[in-house]
Amino acid sequence: MTNPYDIIVIGGGHAGAEAAAAAARMGAQTLLATHRIDTLGEMSCNPAIGGLGKGQMVREIDALDGLMGRVADAAGIQFRILNRSKGAAVRGPRCQADRALYRAAMKEALFAQENLTIMAMSVEDLTKDQNGLFTITNAQGQTYQARAVIVTVGTFLNGLMHTGEEKTIGGRVGEPPSIGLATALRRLGFELGRLKTGTPARLDGRTIDWDSLEKQEGDNPPEPFSTLTNSITNPQITCAITHTTAAMHELMRANFHRAPLYSGQIAGIGPRYCPSIEDKIVRFASRDSHQVFLEPEGLDDPTVYPNGISTSLPKDVQSAMIPMMKGLEKVKILRFGYAVEYDYCDPRGLRATLETKLVPNLYFAGQINATTGYEEAAAQGLMAGLNAALALSGRPPLVLGRDEALIGVMIDDLITKGTNEPYRMFTSRAEYRLSLRADNADQRLTPQGLILGCVGLPRRAAFEAKIKRLQEGRAMLQNLSATPQELRTAGFQINQDGARRTAAQLLAYTAISFDDLTGLWPQISALDPQTKAQLAIECTYAGYMQRQEADIRAYRRDENLILPLNLDYDSIGSLSNEIRQKLKQVRPETLGAAGRISGVTPAALIALLRYARRHPVSGAV
């Protein structure tokens, strides 16, 4: 037996990697226990990072000096900003990544991390003694101890894979499930439910007729995720698009009785936004074609990911249906698609720090909390890692508000509303979407990271320099102003209302750009392009930011009213039984969270006021 660690992270997927790195950045002696070292940073499903909503979260992870953005930049082989034609608030950076490069970059980042030990093992048991010390036991019977544990087991908890009638236990092809750990969690008192997700077959790109297909190019130049990445150095690739056909749908329909989704073989609920192809055909019966993106998985790897045909149909059906698509007539299937069912735990049992309410110092992150997606998992891992370390050193937690980060929106949704399907981030979930942009993630979160101490020196230097440039630019735009008369002379169509307008105010007009202003104020051209772009976005949204201030104040007021976790809801007279049950189930940590539980009325909130204690907000505006 060695000296206890501060923190043990179980699982080396996207959540586990961020959790371990974050805890170690905070100075906690951390052990990352994973099945296999060579699958650290594995992308089990599609070889892409980011997207709408998700890309913003990657920027947020990066802002707190997390790994995902930097690793994706090192591995990215096609970058695109989605919604580029729309406003900055809804633009989502996305990249396709070379899976091998991604694993390599992740491994490198983790092994370079101080305070972090990485060991390959299968964790079979988890216990907590009366001194609050956790012990994990691996398959070889070796034990390790820690003061806090973060469980990030992805789809491995009682994982069961389905391909047609064939069932294989495991969390990922060729890898065993975590069964002992599921038993251990049940013994600790957790109730586990069942979810499912799926993945398509993998194809040999050398057997695809690329020339016959429509192409999709990336952005040129590619825009990196991380503010620490200067430029993308990998060669960039092209993807192609093909379509399913009516004949293919027909073939699949004829075999639906063999599909685990419909034969009753799968009990878990899958995500609506990541449906299998059989699901799409049933739900949209009138469509005789669906798009399929053919995404290369790597520069030196012929494997191609056919995005859009996730399936658990039997192998012989997959073999017959895939060549029915254009360009794939002679395709060789490298691996068949499958669905995987796994255990999860109702996230309403978590605090905003992702600590379980049931077992102090035990944290859950990623798919165990009923989320889907690498980015959602990584974001939770980051928050669990930071908070576990903060708690051990007796410091206040880092809870991101719905007004501060999409990460905050996600965690709050999970812990107050729960979910009945795997949860994915959408920007429409955020009421303050216009503030929670990809472009300002660092401005929103890096200052908090600096205070906590989870942000390293390189980022500190880069951030401070950027902020200085922005402040100077802002001051310049505020100080330059002109009368309507002067503006008209300069060629602007402006109301002749006698009111002076600052450069900042002028930039709020869609029709006016920085270039238009340089004629009037030549000094503006001294600003660097990045600063200009950032300031232009700020000016566009300035009016909206101002308008939502009162809303945010009200939100903050309610978030500052803390409800004790052990509040005796039975002793509060004026609550209806229904509301009482809901409150007891969720045990909201703030009055605001209580209000977001469906069915909780204003009157119930007034009754709860009595128990609410005001707390100062840490680090919030």
Partner 1 sequence: MGGLNKMPIQDDKTIYTLASAAGRAGVAVVRLSGPSCAQACEALTGAPPPPPRQAVLKTLRDPHTKEHLDHALVLFFEAPHSFTGEDVLELHIHGSRAVLQALFESLAQNPSLRPAQAGEFARRAFENDKMDLTQAEGLADLIDAETAAQRRQALRQMEGDLGALYKNWAADLTQLLAMSEAALDFADEDIPQDLTKGHNKTISVLIEAITQHLCDNHRGERLRHGFVVALLGAPNVGKSSLLNALVKRNAAIVSPIPGTTRDIIEVSLDLGGYPVTLADTAGLRETADQIEHEGVRRALERATHADLKLVIMDASQSAKPDPTISALLDKDALLVVNKIDLVKNQSAFPQNALLIAAKTGEGLEHLTQTIINKIETAYAPTQNPTLTRARHRYALEKTLAYLKAAQTATQDELTAEELRLALRSLSQITGHVDVEDLLDIIFGSFCIGK
Return the residue of 214, 601, 618, 621 that touches partner 1, per CB under 8 A: 601
| Cα–Cα distance for residue pair 97/302, rounded to 1 Å | 14
**Judged by CB under 8 A, does residue 283 bind partner 1?**
yes
Report the residue number, 136 or 240, with the smaller CB distance to partner 1.
240
**Judged by CB under 8 A, does residue 187 bind partner 1?**
no
Kindly list the distances between the CA atom of residue 17 and the CA atoms of 20, 58, 380, 395, in Å, as whole numbers in the listed order: 5, 14, 11, 23
- 603 CB neighbour count, 10 Å cutoff: 12
Return the residue of 87, 132, 456, 519 that touches partner 1, per CB under 8 A: 87
Report the residue number, 270 or 349, with the smaller CB distance to partner 1.
270
In the region spanning residues 411 to 430, those forming contacts with partner 1, defined by CB under 8 A, are 413, 426-430
**Judged by CB under 8 A, does residue 245 bind partner 1?**
no
Angle at 308 (CA atoms; ends 303, 311), nearest 5 degrees: 85
In the region spanning residues 33 to 52, those forming contacts with partner 1, defined by CB under 8 A, are 46, 51-52
SS3 at position 267 = coil
**Judged by CB under 8 A, does residue 596 bind partner 1?**
yes
In the region spanning residues 572 to 591, those forming contacts with partner 1, defined by CB under 8 A, are 572-574
Pick from 13, 353, 6, 346: nearest CA to 145: 6
Name the minimum Å distance from CB 94 to partner 1. 8
SS3 at position 33 = strand
Pick from 417, 420, 372: nearest CA to 268: 420
**Judged by CB under 8 A, does residue 217 bind partner 1?**
no
**Judged by CB under 8 A, does residue 544 bind partner 1?**
yes
Report the residue number, 290 or 332, with the smaller CB distance to partner 1.
290
Provide the pairing of β-strand 239-243 with 214-216: antiparallel
Return the residue of 139, 143, 250, 273 that touches partner 1, per CB under 8 A: 273
**Judged by CB under 8 A, does residue 551 bind partner 1?**
yes
Name the minimum Å distance from CB 284 to partner 1. 4
**Judged by CB under 8 A, does residue 553 bind partner 1?**
yes
Pick from 381, 407, 462: nearest CA to 24: 381
Name the minimum Å distance from CB 148 to partner 1. 30
**Judged by CB under 8 A, does residue 267 bind partner 1?**
no
List all residues 6 or more positions away from 182 whose beta carbon is below 8 Å from its beta carbon. 157, 158, 192, 343
SS3 at position 90 = helix
In the region spanning residues 490 to 519, those forming contacts with partner 1, defined by CB under 8 A, are 510
Strands, DSSP E only, in 67-191?
76-82, 92-97, 116-120, 123-128, 134-138, 143-151, 160-163, 166-169
- Our CA dihedral for 202, 58, 397, 442, rounded to 10 degrees, sits at 170
Name the minimum Å distance from CB 320 to partner 1. 22
Strands, DSSP E only, in 111-257?
116-120, 123-128, 134-138, 143-151, 160-163, 166-169, 192-199, 202-204, 214-216, 239-243
Report the residue number, 21 or 89, with the smaller CB distance to partner 1.
89
In the region spanning residues 289 to 308, those forming contacts with partner 1, defined by CB under 8 A, are 290-291, 293, 307-308
Q: How many helices (H) and strands (E) does the chain have?
A: 21, 24
> What would the x/- binding string for partner 1 be over residues 308 to 347, using CB under 8 A?
x---------------------------------------
Widest CA span in the chain: 83
Provide the pairing of β-strand 76-82 with 192-199: unpaired
**Judged by CB under 8 A, does residue 558 bind partner 1?**
yes
The site for partner 1 (CB under 8 A) is made up of 46, 51-53, 82-83, 86-87, 89-90, 94, 271-275, 280, 283-284, 287, 290-291, 293, 307-308, 402, 409, 413, 426-431, 433-434, 510, 540, 544, 550-551, 553-555, 557-558, 572-574, 592, 595-596, 598, 601-607, 609-610
